[in-house]
Amino acid sequence: MKENVFKGIVAAALGGLSAYFGVIAIPLLILIAVMIIDYLSGLAKAWYKSDLSSRIGIVGAVKKLCYILVVCVAGVTDWLISEGLSSVGIDIGFSYYFGVIVTIWLIINECISILENLSVIGVPLPSFLVKIVHRLKITVEESQGGEQ
């Protein structure tokens, strides 16, 4: 019974977030998941190399929180563009265009970092997966005219 109540609460919360945030909800949840996985794989790599450091761990956690701030800035940029165009009579409707692109770019970076951490630990990685993830990053950057 408790498990069903928990599932219901989680489903309602995720549904509410999805309705509120719209198209950016799923990429944002994926970003949070890969940030956690990257942090844990980074800890595993540090442990494997006998290089655990609380300072480095805290810096990593702060960096992950700052990723969310970058997504927020992209979302605000989307809103500003939408409102600016609306004020001159061009109604494009509000969409998280930059927010989604930035979120996807960060997801790809996190995936690259996870693969690098696993490689250091000695986990065999299929070369095609590494190539695809790197190619995705290049494609996103080129499609937006940016370099990072």
The model's pLDDT over 77-109, given as tens digits with 9 standing for 90+, comes to 988 988 888 788 887 776 778 888 999 999 999
| Amino acid 15: pLDDT | 66
Query: What 3-state DSSP class applies to 87?
Result: helix
DSSP 107: H
Q: Locate tokens 């940016």: which residue?
A: 146
Do the beta carbons of residue 69 and residue 76 sit within 8 Å?
no
For residue 123, the model assigns a pLDDT of 94
Per-domain boundaries in the chain? 23-143
At residue 17, the pLDDT reads 60
- The Cα 107–Cα 118 span in angstroms is 16
Farthest-apart Cα atoms in the chain, separation: 60
Give the chain's residues under pLDDT 50: 148
Residue (of 67, 98, 101) closest to 82 by Cα position:
98
- pTM across the whole model: 0.78
E strand residue ranges, the chain: none
